[in-house]
Structure 1
């Protein structure tokens, strides 16, 4: 059972997150020949205050 974890900054509409899950599932299924029912996608949205770039939180 493939398990795919995606981490990204928070703030995208729930429809876009659903589209991402759908597209990742399709891509993994086609690439690995895995049944879509066996594929799990976990999306973790991280607050901008908890994500740093160049030593500075993105939420500043």
Structure 2
């Protein structure tokens, strides 16, 4: 695969919307998963951002 996949702000917003929709469905069904869902989603975003920064620094050497 050549190149990379560029995500727009709309793509990221749609992904966040799906996470929020899933949390809302969990809340409506009284599953009790909404807090965990939101926390792991936030953790995923932070981890991917940190990996991106590390890779950017690594490849700029």
TM-score range, shorter chain: 0.3 to 0.5
Q: Which has the higher contact order (CA 8 A, sep 6+)?
A: 1
- Structure ID, larger Rg: 2
Structure ranking higher in helix proportion = 2
Structure ranking higher in strand proportion = 1
Name the TM-score, length of structure 1 as normaliser. Answer: 0.38
